[in-house]
Structure 1
Amino acid sequence: MTRAYASQSRVVMTVSGLIKEMRPWQWYKQSVLLLGLVFSKSLFDPIAVTNVAVGIVAFCAIAGTTYIGNDILDVEEDRNHPRKKHRPIASGQVPIPVAAAFAVLLFVGGLALSWYLGPLFLLVVCTYLAQNALYSAFLKEIVIVDVMVIAIGFVLRAIAGVVAIGVYLSPWLVVCTFLGALMLALGKRRHEMVVTDDPAASRSILAEYTEETLDQLLVVVLSALLVSYSLYTFFRSGLWMMSTLPFAFFAAFRYHLLAHTRDLGGDPKYLFGDRPFFANLVVWGLTVIAVLYEVPHQIIGTIT
């Protein structure tokens, strides 16, 4: 009886650990696939919404594969990290062979869904996998390149969202996604520098950075992001889209403030717990949708 209970308990712990390894709290990253859906004005197209939803599930599976693969490769390094040492593989909750087998299942499932969405979507997913493999192999050890590769991963997600519904890929979408993701990646590196006494012990590339350098890079990227988004509103979307600029500036400035005063740069998901940031994000999103779908014009037409 006791032996059977212990066996059942180990299975439950292993399954729980595998779910944690998939980082469900980071699935919000796949929301980048929604950008193409919104900005192509396909938000109310049921076929487009279905395709993007399938694409998000595919990327969750593929991302789970890369998370598990990275944790297997970095198991010794993670055990020296104050937070990562509690991850299921690093802590021993999930045996490495079990984790590897689960990663294979996720990999196959993700590729199957990607193929369902078409060869171009599959190509983007394969590129994402190759990028992650190169990052894990050696790119994460090259200063500056490490954060740029992370940002490119988000660009690939944005491209995947566009490919899934077969619409035009705007260069503004690529540029703004890259700069936004790069800003978050630099904020994360800065957080890792601040929270540990020996940053290089948990991530070797941190030995190449200084806190001052990361602060300067963060300001440069933040400025470039705001200029790029401003130019997008000026030249591509008309006067009404310019009304979203205050929200964009507040979001960037609020992130910069929180990264320096509350150490929220470590994981962007904590930003959603900041009420001013979250409220601004919601209002910004609703305003963008209203402008893109010509709600102001309809209101004016009704009044006149």
Structure 2
Amino acid sequence: MDVRSDVSAIPLAVDLDGTLIATDLLWEGLFLLLRKNPLYLFLVPFWVFAGPARLKHEIAKRVEIDPASLPYRPEVLERIAREQAAGRRVVLATGTPKKFATAIAEHLGLFDAVLATEGLHNLTSKNKVAALTATYGDGGFDYIGNSRHDVALFDAARQAIVIAPDRHASRWQLAHGCELIDTPKPTAKTVLKMLRVHQWLKNGLIFVPLLLAHEYQNPRAVLACVIAFVSFSAAASAIYIINDFFDLALDRQHRTKRHRPFASGLLSMPFGFACSGLLLVISVVTAAFLPPLFWLVIGTYLVTTTAYTFSIKRMLLIDVLTLAGLYTIRVLAGQAATDIEPSFWLLAFSIFFFLSLALVKRYVELRSTVSDAKQRIAGRGYRPEDQDVIAQAGMGAAFAAVVVMALYIDSSAVSEQYNHPYVMWPLAPIVLYMIMRIWILARRDEMHDDPVVFIITDWRSQLMAALGLILILIAVVLP
């Protein structure tokens, strides 16, 4: 009997990147390398010039991956288990470095053999065809793949199975009518989640100087703020995407962040990289319509957020001070865009208020992370025993913000602008209520990972914010 008439004698070869896992280890390895030491960025172009195998080899020498945290496709895992139960031999055939492929195969315990890139021999496309053909004969294997690099394998295999295809693989599948495994598709909501559109509300701070200076009836100032808002939102989303790349391993260990588009594999890293570049172009183009001082502010924001992504987020206390500063930079951006003089009171309140919220963020992380008492939580400079100090500092910053507000209401600056400044006195207890409630909920483990998002979505906080705005308007309009 011809051995090929017995399906169980035909091995099933499975691709790795984009097929077994919903991500690409070359991109992930590159960002792991840059997170380890950003100076490797200057060596990467030389490795790329030497060829993809050299790039993979150099990255694999310097970084480790955690096979347990990768976003495996359940459809492929189920298919492998079903084929093995039928007595078929399953082979992991990938262009990923042998070091990574072996670690994944050992973790899963599903593969009978591993074929992968070794040294400077890149096992993709025709090279992979040659390796499989040499081992199993012409047409002596079935193959599951997803990309243009797999088209040559589809042609050479006895049977091709396509999953989550790119444009080239999709065209091949439609032309040949082979099996297509359905996978979840990204939606517009997925893209919006990538952009973190809800975080754009933070950029509403750009309008605060305009409102407090009573320039909201000035069309040019309002337009300048709108343009600044667009520029800042585009820049922020671009940095969020890059930050997600560097935090993939940590996000996958987090109870909620593991569902982010890149951590879960719903969106590819090349797509995210292209979006980040486009967003930066949008930010620069829109900033060109604003005064040069705004360019300096947004440039400072980009440099600071990049530094935060690379190293500052792991520095004890420096990280929360930086976060508070990034909020305050948004206020400065509004002043720079409209040529409104900076307000000492506004900047002082902003620093203390957002320092308290940044400390809430760290406090929640400390309470939700399981680690040894003397061990830092992953990716941060804090240990579990720091909770009390963080809470005390956060409450102190909150009260400092309220004191600044009270002094501002009683200052000559307010009496010159408002006919009835006493109407604004309830603002102090309103702010105090909002931030003390946040801290109490954090202590009860009922707080969102991001307190700013909590304020935006919590109806009580929204009610207090609306009440505060009404008080300001009354103080303005009362004769």
The answer to whether residue 216 in structure 2 is matched with residue 43 in structure 1 is yes
The answer to whether residue 431 in structure 2 is matched with residue 248 in structure 1 is yes
Match of 1:197 in 2: 370
Match of 2:400 in 1: 224
Question: Is contact 2:250–2:378 with CA below 8 Å preserved after alignment?
Answer: yes
1:18 to 175, 178, 191: 191
What's the offset of the Cα at 1:6? 6.4
Question: Is contact 1:31–1:56 with CA below 8 Å preserved after alignment?
Answer: yes
The answer to whether residue 254 in structure 2 is matched with residue 56 in structure 1 is no
Match of 2:382 in 1: 206
- Give the TM-score taking structure 1 as reference length: 0.88
Question: Is contact 2:364–2:445 with CA below 8 Å preserved after alignment?
Answer: no
The amino acid across from 2:433 in the alignment is: F
The amino acid across from 1:283 in the alignment is: L
The amino acid across from 2:399 in the alignment is: S
The amino acid across from 2:264 in the alignment is: S
Match of 2:354 in 1: 181
The answer to whether residue 248 in structure 2 is matched with residue 75 in structure 1 is yes
> Residue by residue, what CA displacement relative to the aligned partner does 1:205-229 show, whole Å, maximum 9, x if unpaired?
2338621111111121112111111
Distance in 2 between residues matched to 1:93 and 1:179, nearest whole Å: 38
Distance in 2 between residues matched to 1:166 and 1:173, nearest whole Å: 15
- Give the TM-score taking structure 2 as reference length: 0.57
Match of 1:169 in 2: 342
Question: Is contact 2:398–2:432 with CA below 8 Å preserved after alignment?
Answer: no
Question: Is contact 1:172–1:228 with CA below 8 Å preserved after alignment?
Answer: yes
The amino acid across from 2:272 in the alignment is: A
Match of 2:261 in 1: 88
Question: Is contact 1:82–1:196 with CA below 8 Å preserved after alignment?
Answer: no
> Residue by residue, what CA displacement relative to the aligned partner does 1:135-175 show, whole Å, maximum 9, x if unpaired?
11211111000001011111110000111111111011111
Distance in 2 between residues matched to 1:196 and 1:135, nearest whole Å: 21
The amino acid across from 2:396 in the alignment is: V
Question: Is contact 1:14–1:94 with CA below 8 Å preserved after alignment?
Answer: no
The amino acid across from 1:20 in the alignment is: K
Question: Is contact 2:204–2:229 with CA below 8 Å preserved after alignment?
Answer: yes
1:233 to 409, 414, 421: 409
What's the offset of the Cα at 1:203? 3.2
SS in 1 for 2:253: coil
Report the CA distance shift for 1:200/1:71 in structure 2 as closer, same or farther (over 3 A). farther
The answer to whether residue 443 in structure 2 is matched with residue 266 in structure 1 is no
What's the offset of the Cα at 1:19? 2.6
Report the CA distance shift for 1:48/1:151 in structure 2 as closer, same or farther (over 3 A). same
Distance in 1 between residues matched to 2:335 and 2:211, nearest whole Å: 10
The answer to whether residue 288 in structure 2 is matched with residue 115 in structure 1 is yes
Question: Is contact 1:121–1:163 with CA below 8 Å preserved after alignment?
Answer: yes
What's the offset of the Cα at 1:30? 0.7
Query: Unaligned regions of 5+ residues in structure 1, if any?
Result: 299-304
Match of 2:201 in 1: 28
Match of 2:332 in 1: 159
SS in 1 for 2:226: helix
SS in 2 for 1:205: coil
Distance in 1 between residues matched to 2:437 and 2:459, nearest whole Å: 11
Match of 2:20 in 1: none
Report the CA distance shift for 1:109/1:12 in structure 2 as closer, same or farther (over 3 A). farther
Distance in 2 between residues matched to 1:83 and 1:260, nearest whole Å: 19
Report the CA distance shift for 1:43/1:194 in structure 2 as closer, same or farther (over 3 A). same
Q: CA RMSD in A?
A: 2.5
Distance in 2 between residues matched to 1:173 and 1:3, nearest whole Å: 58
2:466 to 279, 282, 288: 282
Distance in 2 between residues matched to 1:209 and 1:125, nearest whole Å: 37
Distance in 2 between residues matched to 1:124 and 1:209, nearest whole Å: 37
Distance in 1 between residues matched to 2:456 and 2:287, nearest whole Å: 29
Question: Is contact 2:208–2:334 with CA below 8 Å preserved after alignment?
Answer: yes
Greater shift in the superposed pair: 141-150 or 86-95: 86-95
What's the offset of the Cα at 1:43? 1.6
Give the structure with the higher percent strand: 2
Match of 1:104 in 2: 277
> Residue by residue, what CA displacement relative to the aligned partner does 1:213-260 show, whole Å, maximum 9, x if unpaired?
111111211121111111111113134333433323322333333332
> Residue by residue, what CA displacement relative to the aligned partner does 1:21-65 show, whole Å, maximum 9, x if unpaired?
110121111111111111010122222112111111111100001
**Which structure has the greater CA radius of gyration?**
2
SS in 2 for 1:263: coil
Give the structure with the higher percent helix: 1
The amino acid across from 2:414 in the alignment is: S
Distance in 1 between residues matched to 2:223 and 2:474, nearest whole Å: 22
The amino acid across from 2:200 in the alignment is: W
